[in-house]
Amino acid sequence: MAKKRDTAGTIAKFEKAAKSAEPRRRYVLRLYVAGINPRSSAAIKAITDICEKHLKGRYDLEVVDIYQQPTLAKGEQIIAAPTLVKKLPLPLRRFIGNLADTERILVGLDLRPKK
């Protein structure tokens, strides 16, 4: 007599194992802001919220005030603020201006497929 297989349970176990085997890439991000003002504060909050929700425990975020550290901004050729630079994982990407568009940021960070 053949054993009855629990295919639903087997599939669920496989999917769980496959998901946990995905590489947990570490993200290195640098956010350039221009001074302490409402626009800078909003950019910092938006990016921090996205990172905490979608990258919890696997990101490094450095906030750089271009007024305090102009050489860093010059070296990265930052011409507008706020600008978010994704250094790792490659490819390098830049997000300029309104960083409150969560969907755009998630697609750009390769955390969500492009629609």
pLDDT reported for residue 70: 95
Residues 6+ apart with CB under 8 A from 104: 95
Tell me what pLDDT residue 24 has.
74
Q: By residue range, what is the domain housing residue 44?
A: 26-108
User: Quick check: 21 pLDDT over 50?
Assistant: no
pTM of the model: 0.77
Look at residue 75 and tell me if it is in a domain: yes
62 in a structural domain: yes
pLDDT in tens, 61-82: 999 999 999 999 999 999 999 9
CATH of the domain at 70: 3.40.30.10
Q: Domain tally for the chain?
A: 1
* Alpha-carbon gap, residue 98 to 39, rounded angstroms: 9
In a domain, 91, yes or no: yes
Q: Which residues of 34-53 are buried (b: 16+ CB within 10 A; e: fewer)?
A: beeeeebeebbebbeebbee
Between CA 66 and CA 73 the distance in angstroms is 6
Q: Is 8 a residue whose pLDDT tops 90?
A: no
